[in-house]
A and B are shown apart, each in its own frame.
Chain A
Amino acid sequence: MSNQETSKSVFLNVNGVSYPVTIDGGRNLLSVLRGEIGLTGTKEGCDDCECGACMVLVDGQPVNSCSYLAAQTQGREITTIEGVAPSPEEMDPLQTNILEAGGVQCGFCTPGMILSARALLERTPHPSEEEVRIGLSGNLCRCTGYARIVEAVQRTAAGAKTATGDTGQ
């Protein structure tokens, strides 16, 4: 293997778009998303794999992007908060519910919370409160006290239950 050139050109598939980036093998995914690709919805909190502000999905699984090497995600699908809403005019039910439940204060943890919640609901469509709390563990919030975030996830799950029915209301 060559030592001369450690920067490599790779393609990262983020929210369905393939981005060419030239990066060192040691660069973490968070810094590439924010610094190279310009998607700043993913936040840098502790930068130490503790707080969950940098959570993204890699092939549908939550990953702390601050501590995951960007080059390892080649060929995998990355989802960031920018890829959650179905269109620029429409929010994802998780986004609507977290706003309506009052689960957003400063907002710094929100992108990570939403991505962890999305992965949870994918895996467990109708989680108990305990399952929501476990699913969101690793995402710290210093404002809300969590209750309203948990409520928003449960509302989303309940909404999904009726969404297949005739009308929600």
Chain B
Amino acid sequence: MTTHLLVATTLDEALAAMANGARPIAGGTDLVVGARVGKAPLPTELVAIDRLDELDIVGMVPGGSDDPTPLLFVGAMVSHATIMNHPLLAASYSGLADASALVGSPSTRNVGTIGGNVMNASPAMDTGAPLLAMGAMAVLQSVSGSRTVPLAELWTGPGTTSAGPDELCVAILIPRRMGEEGSAYVRLEYRRAMEIAVVGAGAAVTLNDDGTVAKAAVALTAVGPTILALTGLEELLIGTPLDDLSLSAVAMLASEQASPISDLRASDKYRRHTVGVMAKRALEAAGRRAAGETIAIPVNRAEGIGAARNAAAQNGAAK
């Protein structure tokens, strides 16, 4: 098996290659590793997109005609290392920064990109739950034009998306987090590096002036064929404070709606229980951030969740 690799220097060149059947490659952390472990052979035609600097940009863009709210633009080539260290993202899109900070190791985070993470469509991807909770969309571009797809409509199953084979994800758009909105992502992990979420949860919360919930969204990691958006949160949360009672109700809701599998890393029963705990913790952290508290990125380390619990306890930081 041989592979032809084109190193694209312009977006048009990359899109033309994809129109001719090439698959895009950025850091190779999913594609090359997947080929080696026998998931899928390395494609015979590849186009490297890692030199497209126009896809390596973070900034605000105006909203569309139907909704003028400004959007955060995160280019598809933006790496996890950039996301976790970006001041704007860490402060206002903290859930995404929490997720990127947990991915793999420093080397994985250097070459691994948000576009790759989203388009690989693993139900265990770390950035997926916070992005879905924040209402993010993917911008897909091909030689025939571009379209914006909500992530809930992008992911169709484990490793599959509604994107056409000629469509390149060029950016992720996130509706601007207004004022008091806070977000967080937490995951259950057995070790602190080179880990894949056993289960996880992302949350985004807006509070009223009296501290009760004005708006909330939660999404779950690794408990279904895709990242799963929790439904029915409004009845439980709107107008109520984020206290033990409401958080426990969300934990139960998450456990009910999860449809996990059993595998080497955890049984379905264990996943069903722990995803509730993660949902509760993500929501609690998002609520505290919405109230103005600074919790260091990632929440897992700051709050001593998962494998970090003992280390954090030794540092006196555990809750």
Interface residues of A (CB under 8 A from B): 1-3, 5-8, 24-26, 28, 47-50, 52, 55, 61-64, 66-69, 71-72, 74, 116, 119-120, 134-135, 137-139
Contacts and interface: CB of A to CB of B under 8 A. Distances in A.
Interface residues of B, number: 35
B3 A24 contact: yes
B177 to A, nearest CB: 27
A74 B2 contact: no
A72 B33 CA distance: 15
Contact of A6 (B2, B35, B106): B2
Most chain B CB neighbours (cut-off 10 Å) among A3, A119, A135: A3
B7 interface: yes
A69 B25 contact: yes
A93 B52 CA distance: 37
B50 interface: yes
Contact of A26 (B5, B7, B33, B192): B5
B262 interface: no
A28 B46 CA distance: 13
Interface string B5-22: 111000000000100101
A71 B105 contact: no
A25 B29 contact: no
B108 to A, nearest CB: 7
A69 B17 CA distance: 18
Given A64-B29, A74-B7, 10 more contacts: A25-B2, A26-B2, A26-B42, A49-B104, A64-B107, A68-B28, A68-B111, A69-B25, A72-B50, A138-B193
B107 A25 contact: no
A138 to B, nearest CB: 2
Nearest to B195: A137
A119 to B, nearest CB: 7
B1 interface: yes
B2 A119 contact: no
B180 interface: no
Contacts of B193: 134, 137-138
B36 A67 contact: yes
B3 A25 contact: yes
A116 B3 contact: no
Minimum-distance CB pairs A-B, first 5: A138-B105, A25-B5, A26-B3, A137-B193, A6-B2
Nearest to B2: A6
Contact of B108 (A47, A64, A74, A120): A64
